[in-house]
Amino acid sequence: MICPCEKKGETSVVDSRPTEDGTAIRRRRLCSCGERFTTFERIQYRELMVVKKNGRKSTFDRDKLAKSIYIALKKRPLDSETVEKFISRISRSLEELGQSEISSNTIGTMVMEGLKELDPVAYVRFASVYRNFREEKDFVQFVDKIDVFKKR
């Protein structure tokens, strides 16, 4: 494994244990430079391809999914363990579809539905980017249609 500090591959595993939900192995590593860092090893059943709205295809990237979710959840009161479980659940659901090609629309819808339950503010943030709101009225119309905030 390459050290993120030195960009060299001289690291050793100090500790290794399964994650709480059992979907990955968490490894604490130590570099010869003294830097410590964590890596995760996950099962990948098949290589998933994402079909974009314009028809282009790209390999499913869990990190890209995580980044977009973390942006939506920025400064929200959720711990990283809860967020990681949510990301793992989305990834697992995609693999369980049994398809090698999945539309970006399917992924976006899954994330939106999950965020709706997890954090309503993050749900609206994600939707504003995913649905590509252009004007304030688009945003207001979307929020008026959803009942997430009416429950509170």
The per-residue pLDDT for range 88-141, each reduced to its tens digit, is 899 889 988 888 899 999 999 999 999 989 998 898 889 888 777 777 787 777
Does 114 lie in the same domain as 64? yes
What does the pLDDT average to over 42-69?
Answer: 88
Domain co-membership, 75 together with 2: no
Specify whether the backbone of 129 is left (phi greater than 0), alpha (psi in -120 to 50) or beta.
Answer: alpha
The pLDDT-based confidence of 45 (bands split at 50, 70, 90) is: low
| pLDDT score of 2 more than 60 | yes
The residue type found at 67 is K
Contacts of 65 (CB under 8 A, 6+ apart): 87, 90, 91, 107, 111
Decide: pTM greater than 0.95: no
User: Looking at the structure, do residues 37 and 79 belong to the same domain, yes or no?
Assistant: no
32 and 56, same structural domain?
no
Q: Which domain holds residue 2?
A: 1-43
Return mean pLDDT, the chain.
85
Contacts 24+ apart (CB under 8 A), 128-131: 129/68, 129/72
Same domain, 78 and 23: no
The one-letter code for the residue type at 110 is M
Tell whether the model's pLDDT for residue 56 goes beyond 70.
Answer: yes
Do 66 and 121 have their domain in common? Answer: yes
Question: Range with the lowest mean pLDDT among 39-53, 76-90, 112-126?
Answer: 39-53
* CB environment 90-125: b (16+ within 10 A), e (fewer): bbeebbeeeeeebebebbbebbbebbbebbbebbbb
Q: How many CA atoms lie within 13 A of 127 on its CB side?
A: 20
Number of structural domains found in the chain: 2
Cβ 33 vs Cβ 3: under 8 Å: yes
